[in-house]
Structures are given as structure tokens and as C-alpha cells.
Amino acid sequence: MLRLATVLVALLPLVASAATTLKISTLYPDGTTIVTGLKKAGKEIAEQTDGRVKLKIYPGGVMGDDRAVERKIRIGQLQGLVAQGGAFANAYKDSQILNVPLAFNNYDEVDAARAELDPVIQDGLEEGGWVSFGLLDGGFAYVMSEKPVKSLEDLRNQKLWLPANDEASAKAASAFELSPIMLNIGSVLTSLQTGAINAFAAPPVAALTLQWYSRVNYVTDMPLLYTFGLLGIHQKYFKRLSAEDQQVVRTVLESTLDKLDAQSRQENQSAFAAVQQQGLEVVTPTDAQHQEWKSYAERATNELVEEGEISQAMLDRLNAILAKQRAGQ
């Protein structure tokens, strides 16, 4: 018995030093700013924890779509993901508040809203079981299409893609009286090539990175909605780390996400000009057409509230921020 106890004591340092690998899936391709930044963060975390915690990034959607990734997180094959904010809506519905259609006119308004609401979103997600480390600017989504789209009627006549398994987007599309084709992101380029779809709404930087721009001819000069991404690690895995290592991971990833957010903003701001340089022609809705878009956007937002996708209290908070910003206060 004494000998067994001696052996167990001798093994304790080995048990304590066993490495934990946090496996993170993302649709961002390898070599992009986001993936490169996260890999660098992983090296910093490993160094600062003496190898106790490691980060492994699976880029390019190799682990499947959001639903597949969620299943793998449940069974422990993965511990987290980098995805658009809507992927975390089940954990905290109001995390979608920044995605309200046609809510923002420019980045100044986005920044005013994010300054107040980013911490609220992160706290809500943590209560819902996800540890996040800051939002990643996704840029404004614009309609890009094979044929010019100025009016809603123009868009209704297109074979429009929207992401599968995104209930809020599907409900918003219904309010706009659209009949989109719902597909996983990995199927978009092939579907554009075959003509199964001929229009999509996405940030220009995504259209460039994923080569979607090469299959369309026009971009509609109207920021349809603001998009953002999140890195979320499920709490059940994060809490297995020691308090000291949790703090290291938080510090490194919060610093990394802050830098990546700024870099992504710069890329997104230049991407609209870049798609034009690639041959896409800009079309601009008339004032009357723009007002029709706004009217349907308000209807879509009200329906999202009625159906519990976002709360009235959070929408009121966003509107108050925007009113103050627009008044120049």
C-alpha cells in the first residue's frame, strides 16, 4: 500500500501537466487574417501555460457546417467554433440585435451601437453557455447578383441564396416576401456555377475570399445588414481549465480578437471597392425604392420581435443609441 501511494504521488506532476487542446472549427479559409491570427494566439497560449493549453484551428469548414460542428462540440470532438453571430442565437437570442436589416447607415452608427452592446452580447452568451472573447467585424452585407437588383421586386425575381439553418434570416426573408434557396455555405460557389442560385447577400470581403464574386455581375449599393463573427468556446470545456489557465486564454484571445476586429474592419471597408475592380457594376436604388426596402425592413424587424427572435427591450435600446448618434449627441 505504501509503495502504491508513493507511485501515485510520483505520477501527480504528470497528471497536472497533461495538455488540454481546445479544438476550434471555422469556415474561414486557411491563410486568412482570422485563421492566421488565431494560430498565432494558440502559440502564445501554449507558451504562457507551459504547454498545458493548446489551440488547434480547423479552417475552411473541414469539420462541416454549423449543425455538424455543434454535434461534434456536444460529444467532445470539438470545443468551440468561429462563426457568424447567428450561429449562437440559440444561446442568447438578443445576440442578433446587430443583424437587424437596414438598421445602420454607416460604420459610425455601428461603432456607437457596438460600444454599448458588445459587452451585453458577450455576457448573454456566457450565461447561455458560451465563453466569447470579443466580436469580429464582418462588414455590411450587400446584394450581389447576376442581374441588376434595385427594387425588392428585382430581388424577388432572382434565385436568392440564404444560409441553411438560420431561422432569423428565413423569417426576415419571409417578411420581405422572398423565396430564398437555403444552402450550406460550402454549396454556394457550386450552386452559382450551375445556376441553381444567381444572387446572394454577403459582405464583399466574403465574396472575394470565397470566390463568389466571379459568378455575379452586379452589387447593390445599399448596406442590407451588418454582420459579425464570434469565437465561442463551450463553457463545459473552458471550465475544465485551471483558473490561472482560463485567465491566460481570456487575456490572449481578447487581445487577439481586438486586433482582428480592427484588421477585419479595414479589409471590409476596402472590399467594396475591390469587388468593383473585379468587374462588378454598382447599381443604386432610387429614393423611392430605398424607402420601400426600409418599410419592409421595419416589418421584418417587428416580426422578429413578435416571434421572439429578439426582444423589444433590446430593439428599443438599439434604436435609442442610433437616435442619439444621428442627433449628434
- Confirm whether 2 is domain-assigned: no
Using an 8 Å Cβ cutoff, are 238 and 249 in contact? yes
* 87 within a domain of the structure (yes/no): yes
Weakly modelled stretches of the chain, pLDDT under 70:
1-18, 329
- Check which CATH number belongs to the domain holding 290 and give it: 3.40.190.170
Per residue in 13-44, pLDDT (tens digit) is: 444 446 899 999 998 889 999 999 999 999 99
- Domain assignment present for residue 271? The answer is yes
- Is 6 within the bounds of a domain? no
Q: Is residue 215 within 8 Å of 278, Cβ to Cβ?
A: no
Residue 16: its pLDDT value, please? 44
Residue 32 lies in a domain: yes
Q: How many CA atoms lie within 13 A of 131 on its CB side?
A: 20
Is-contact 26 34, C-beta < 8 A? yes
Within a domain: residue 259? Answer: yes
pLDDT at 87: 85
User: Which range of residues forms the domain containing residue 34?
Assistant: 14-326
Tell me, what's the pLDDT at 65?
Answer: 80
The pLDDT value given to residue 18: 67
- Cite the DSSP H helix spans in 62-139: 66-74, 107-127
Task: Give the per-residue pLDDT at 174.
Answer: 85
User: Total structural domains in the chain?
Assistant: 1
Q: What is the pTM of this model?
A: 0.87
Within-domain flag for 4: no
Q: Give the separation between CA 66 and CA 128, rounded to whole angstroms.
A: 17
Whether 27 is in a domain gets the answer yes
